Chain A
């Protein structure tokens, strides 16, 4: 693990964080995919020894600060979703891209539901179907993000 490969992984996370707080028109905003989750899941599948539950929690914590939610909400949800991948990475690695996309969709739904349950518990938020719209865009995003990140990983020989 050289310093440059570590930097490149960090850079992909930084871009994902920026994409998840970038201002968007209100109509598109509900469909914003879970950039951070997608990047985390890719690195967790590719390099489970480097990116794991702890890094997921740290990214979730930064997301908490950026989004102004109660500290620990996104962190916990992110860590739980990544834990499922970290336990089964050898199986999921061998699936086709579309099968992986479905699994990512399920994980993204789990992530949003955990965040919603915690928010419901803390502030009496009411469930709206629009809270699960990002799941659709995340499923569509996964193949592209997967191909791009694999290209980056092979190009810079990150191991």
Chain B
């Protein structure tokens, strides 16, 4: 039934109402950050939609993984065996060096570094919004993910957790305009800030004096300052150093080492456990063992 006379408020009134709502939402979300908890809730509400939207891609992946020849599988398997041998040998070396490092740190009375807890996550969706660089992963509050957690891939830092839902969460990539990560040059330890510029594959460094010792191809690693990212993970490689004396600072561009545009699996890092806590838990478990 099409009513001849319209009911309800006119389009103008509706527009004014919703525009007012929009302005209020933008103000409270952007300036006051008052939707942090609601965001997590909304994220869990829409996660079925995200799982559904990735279904065709998942199906293609499944098909691609299942429709392979025997020959190919055998070849892959051989390659993995060789890789495993090489990595195992490297791990042995690393183990020795780690123990040696721990001994040296103990001699210097520096705090020891424990092993960080890690978890693999799969990329669910990549944002189609060109203004923000974010991806959605298939881990949420149920897996212990928390806001501000560091996310890496096999090459380097990818970003940090922005919003946590129950079964999925959102990762802010380091190339986003609103993101910056404290880094240092691994060659000489000079501290810089790597901020995103909104373009995949580029980071910029502001306020670097002309006298700074920095060269093209320098590796930038996380400095651990700021407390969000653990120390020592690779972030970017310097691609251009422009020292124009007519400008106040030299212009430095770098390129993320993580493959930000072709992510599939990422690693979530939990902060290293404090040694005191570890010993406490072992004591508790000892007591339990004794009482049994």
- Whether both chains belong to one complex is answered with yes
Interface residues of A (CB under 8 A from B): 1, 14, 17-24, 26, 29-30, 32, 49, 52-54, 56-57, 61-62, 65-73, 75-76, 79-80, 83, 86-87, 115-116, 118-119, 122-126, 128, 130-131, 159
Given A23-B54, A23-B126, A125-B177; A80-B132 close (CB under 8 Å): no
Given A52-B11, A73-B26, A125-B177; A57-B18 close (CB under 8 Å): yes
Give the nearest-CB partner of A75 in chain B: B22
A14 to B48, CA, bound (A): 11
Give the nearest-CB partner of B124 in chain A: A23
- Per the CB 8 Å criterion, the residue count for chain B at the interface is 50
Which residues of chain B (170-209) have a CB below 8 Å from chain A?
170, 177-178, 198, 200
- Which of B1-9, B72-80, B113-121, B210-218 sits within the interface? B1-9
Interface residues of B (CB under 8 A from A): 1-3, 6-7, 11, 14-15, 17-19, 21-26, 29-30, 35, 39, 42-43, 45-46, 49-50, 52-54, 56-57, 125-132, 134, 136, 162-163, 170, 177-178, 198, 200, 261
The reply to whether A131 and B128 form a contact with Cβ atoms under 8 Å apart is no
State how many angstroms separate the Cβ of B15 from the closest Cβ of chain A.
Answer: 5
A-B contact count (CB 8 A): 128
State how many angstroms separate the Cβ of B160 from the closest Cβ of chain A.
Answer: 13
**30 A-B residue pairs with CB within 8 Å:** A1-B1, A17-B49, A21-B53, A22-B56, A23-B126, A30-B130, A49-B6, A49-B7, A52-B11, A52-B14, A56-B18, A61-B25, A67-B132, A68-B127, A68-B134, A68-B162, A68-B170, A69-B129, A69-B131, A71-B35, A72-B21, A72-B29, A75-B21, A75-B25, A76-B19, A79-B18, A122-B30, A125-B131, A128-B130, A130-B130
